[in-house]
């Protein structure tokens, strides 16, 4: 992961972020810290990681949208019990629950469930993008503080 960020910069962050937000379970927070530590711009890192992460979430949504529950269950991406749980959440809270898809462990299945229940694309994308974008702004700010503290004490 570190070599992709150091060699490819924003493109590396975008690609890895896409991969981490699909069904492959990895956390993307470290990418943001690595990008900032390598001297990449604050906003460049945020837009790269948010773009890749939202594209991955959209991939999950489209997979759910064009597949059916039994197909998703056969692929072992999400079991039927989880699908039912997330479908109930979507029916109870509506599209606003999608704001929280940035939370590790629930985001990927929730984005796929949104596709399975045919949430309108705009009602999907706005809360997903907003939640992830705000999360990365906060994390980038905290990483920047940590990096500056590190440099002030050890440089």
One digit per residue, the tens of pLDDT, for the chain of length 155 reads: 667 777 888 999 999 999 988 867 677 888 888 899 889 999 999 999 999 999 999 999 998 898 877 777 676 667 778 778 888 888 888 888 999 998 887 888 889 889 988 899 999 999 999 999 999 999 999 999 998 888 888 86
CA-CA distances (angstroms) from residue 151 to 32, 37, 141? 17, 10, 15
CB within 8 A of 101, min separation 6: which ones? 57, 107, 108, 110, 111, 127, 128, 131, 132
Do 36 and 144 touch, CB atoms closer than 8 A?
yes
Predicted confidence (pLDDT) per residue in 108-118, tens digit: 888 988 998 88
3-state secondary structure string, 83-100? Answer: HHHHHHHHHHHHHHHHHH
CA distance 36 to 16: 15
Reading the block at residue 49, the tokens are 């990681």
Q: How many other CB atoms are there within 10 angstroms of residue 66's CB atom?
A: 10
pLDDT at site 154:
84
Residue 137 CB-half CA count within 13 A: 6
CA distance 100 to 128: 7
Q: Quote the number of domains for the chain.
A: 1
- Phi then psi dihedrals of residue 119, to 5 deg: -60, 140
CA distance 125 to 105: 19
Where in the sequence is the domain holding 17, given as residue range(s)?
A: 2-154
């Amino acid at each position: 992961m570190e070599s992709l960020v150091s060699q490819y910069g924003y493109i590396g962050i975008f690609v890895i972020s896409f991969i981490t937000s699909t069904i492959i379970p990895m956390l993307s927070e470290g990418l943001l810290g690595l990008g900032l530590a390598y001297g990449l711009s604050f906003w460049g890192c945020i837009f790269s990681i948010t773009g890749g992460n939202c594209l991955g979430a959209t991939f999950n949504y489209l997979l759910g949208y064009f597949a059916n529950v039994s197909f998703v269950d056969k692929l072992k991406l999400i079991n039927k019990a989880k699908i039912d749980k997330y479908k109930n959440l979507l029916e109870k809270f509506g599209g606003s629950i999608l704001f929280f898809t940035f939370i590790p462990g629930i985001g990927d299945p929730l984005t796929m469930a949104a596709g399975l229940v045919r949430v309108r694309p705009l009602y999907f994308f706005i809360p997903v993008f907003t939640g992830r974008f705000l999360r990365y702004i906060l994390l980038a700010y905290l990483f920047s503080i940590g990096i500056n503290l590190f440099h002030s004490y050890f440089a």
